[in-house]
């Protein structure tokens, strides 16, 4: 399955970018400090991974960079 990474995708513009990607068949992985707003995202194919730009998880970034299914970064 094709994957998209959305940095800061839990709400606002980031979440607005995530929804069309889900509708196009992407598994969206949201990197953010808080979980996505379920009132907006519902039970869509959005996976949340905790991520803080002030304390970068380099292993997570390396794992995502090596994932050949990731084709979009927002």
Write the pLDDT tens digit of every residue in 1-55. Answer: 899 999 998 888 988 898 899 999 999 999 999 988 776 666 677 899 999 989 9
Q: Residue 40: CB partners within 8 Å, gap ≥ 6?
A: 11, 15, 19
Q: Which residues pair with 6 in a beta bridge?
A: 30
Residue 43's pLDDT is what?
Answer: 65
The Cβ of residue 71 has, within 10 Å, a number of other Cβ atoms equal to: 11
Residue 41's pLDDT is what?
Answer: 63
Q: What is the pLDDT of residues 60-73, one digit of tens each?
A: 999 999 999 999 99
Residue 11's pLDDT is what?
Answer: 86
Q: Which residue has the tokens 């002030």?
A: 54
Residue 39's pLDDT is what?
Answer: 63
Q: How many helices (H) and strands (E) does the chain have?
A: 3, 4
Backbone angles phi, psi at 72, to 5 degrees: -135, 135
């Amino acid at each position: 399955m094709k994957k998209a990474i959305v940095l800061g995708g839990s709400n606002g513009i980031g979440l607005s970018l995530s929804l069309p990607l889900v509708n196009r068949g992407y598994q969206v992985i949201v990197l953010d400090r808080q979980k996505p707003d379920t009132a907006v995202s519902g039970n869509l194919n959005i996976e949340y991974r905790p991520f803080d730009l002030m304390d970068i998880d380099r292993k997570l970034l390396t794992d995502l960079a090596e994932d050949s299914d990731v084709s979009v970064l927002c």
